[in-house]
Structure 1
Amino acid sequence: MDEIRIQVNGRERDVPAGTSVAVLLRDLGLDGRAIVVELNRRIVRPPEIESIRFEAGDRVELVHFVGGG
Structure 2
Amino acid sequence: MATCEQCGNDYHSPIEIKVNGKTHTYDCFECAIEQLAPRCARCATRVIGHGLEASTGIYCSGHCAKEAGVEARA
The bucket for the TM-score relative to the shorter chain is 0.3 to 0.5
Larger radius of gyration between Structure 1 and Structure 2: 2
Instruction: Compute the TM-score of the two structures, normalised by the length of structure 1.
Output: 0.32
Give 1 or 2: higher strand fraction: 1
